Structure 1
Amino acid sequence: MIATKIGKKSGVPDNYTRLGQYIAAAEEKGEKLHQFWIRNCDAGTNIEDIDMALLEIEAVRRQKPDIADKTYHLVVSFRPGEQDKLTKEDLMAIEAEYAKALGYGDHQRVAGTHINTDNFHMHIAFNKVHPETLKVVTPHRDFKILAKVSREMEKKYGLSIDPGMTDGKERDPNKLSPAARDYEAHTWQESFQRHVLKHREEILKGLGKAKNWKEAHEALAGYDISLKLRGNGMVLMSPDGQAMKASQLDRSCSKNRLEERFGLFEVLKDKRRRKGEHFARGKGRYKPRPLVRHFNTPALWRRYLNTRKIMPRQPSLAARTLRNWKMFLLMEVHQDPLAMVLIMAHREILKSLQIMPAGKPARFQAKTKVEFANSRALSSDQL
């Protein structure tokens, strides 16, 4: 089952009577009415009562002349052949479950099922205006409500399962964002997000102990993380300007959740934290490091770092190229066979980056090209 709200088109008047007539007549080419019923109208419940029921519904709606959108039109699609599994009572019970979950249990509505070859579906037209209180009900985050009811009804009536957009697996907290994957693919260096997720448990433990914004900033500074506002949300920022959404670390780190704990956001007031300075020490510090390691990588990496140190402040295009570990390897490949081994290793590991958890960099134990081809990635210590 797939339940879909049909939204009101911009510039088109809300015409409940026309919609009700459409449901009762099954007007689409090749389409026929399967079942039909009316709820919460004194006029009656059957198709012969439709004209009086629509007049009754319009009388209620006229009590809210300032509301432009007073109709909630829901379409529930079934798999081919499922009309044979469901009686009219079953269909009415399914419709009632959607109504109850959306907050329309006591509202007037017209409902009917249509068949067009293998396309079996149900239309429900809810009057959003309550017939007694005249309160206009608009469900919040209704797509989640619809998905939940659909899964429940599929299970109850033995129908085929059609997972919706809210039915996927729980978000993997170790999954890198597209921006972090792009950074690693272009530099072959560990991204800031991988660094943060590597220390995820310790960071969350430190934030859990924080009692105010000052303590929260201090807990994050221990891992070279600064907290900044961006747009309507909050980001974790690295010393070199990389950023990740705070909620990607954990839902408890979203701007709303943190402000619920500590009040309105306060910036870090410690003036010692200037560009280039670090509070983090040892394993907590974020520093450039290769994404993939070979047992001889340190020697080549030291050469790369030394090359960066001697670059002028306004380097040439060639010098700027060497600031990137990936490009450095490509430049070195003609004179150092180890660079070719590392290039092969990086390309292999990058193929699996989308499913590889954000843990420690992979180490490749290959000593030659042939041995590398038969080697496997193993976990490693940091450089």
Structure 2
Amino acid sequence: MIATKIGKKSGVPDNYTRLGEYIAAAEEKGEKLHQFWIRNCDAGTNIGDLDLALLEIEAVRRLKPDIADKTYHLVVSFRSGDQDKLTKDDLMAIEAEYAKALGYADHQRVAGTHINTDNFHMHIAFNKVHPETLKVITPHRDFRILAKVSREMEKKYGLTIDPGMTDGMERDPNKLSPAARNYEAHTWQESFQRHVLKHREEILEGLGKARNWPEAHEVLARYDIRIKLRGNGMVLMSPDGQAMKASQLNRSCSKKKLEERFGAFEAQQNKQPSKSGHKARTRHHYKPRPLVRHRNTPALWRRYLGQRKLLPRQPSLAARALRNWKMFLLMEADQDPLAMVLIMAHREMLRTLPPTPSISSRLLEKRGIHKSSLPT
């Protein structure tokens, strides 16, 4: 099991009703609702009570108008085969354990499990405002709480174990983060993090020789990477907005370690000069490319890119269907046998990776989740 908090982007309004409707509707293509329940609402506990329950929850939330973030959205992903081991009562018990550990046992919430071809997962939308005390609960260091509950539930219900970074195990430096795995699962394209890790040794060698921030920026620019401050740390950014923690490249690349070497962070200038005085040149561009290769993939990929170039700028059904390589293959499967071969190859490969939750692009926009983290 992998439990992931879906964060709210700063400046984007919190929309609990939209999230509750999304959980009940299972809107993602090829996805369906498996189980659904409501907790701590006088309106009821079943999907037929959802409209009244959402009104009840919103009434409580309106009593805290000064709080911008009043929703805690949790996604719990299960490994292949775990679904058959769990009844609805089991799933509700697992949800209750997360709620108790996070301090939300008495809080209103909507929960549901979704099934699609790639993974089985649970969404839980907690109202952070207590319905009686009106106290707003925000768990501290919740990633440790989530990991602890996940390990306990795996053991209790005989589920496949997904060791986390809090389990005392040495982190595999080549292991993709949940955000990168999610990107690849939903697009079937190589993630930015995979691109970075592919050149890890060269990047680290170059950074090891850098003496200041301009030289560090120059090294990263060769691989189409920009480094920026985010929160209390630093992230590596791709041209299309994907991000990964700088420390995921290596612990020596944490904000603390880099500032110990180069001093306070200096942002990269738009035209970063190299040592020779010329603009730093990119040697290894990050470009979207198929995650799984086949001898005939290039021809199909060129067709995909060609069709994307012809799309109108305004959103349309065709544009949505071609928003990524995965959607293109699914659309072509009925007419092109190669597309079906690649679909099967991608799914076979993804079965070997830990599952990631399926989140709709519309929900991302409403909830303010960074698109580079969880694109669809």
TM-score by length of 1: 0.47
Pick 1 or 2: higher relative contact order, CA cutoff 8 A, min separation 6.
Answer: 2
TM-score by length of 2: 0.48
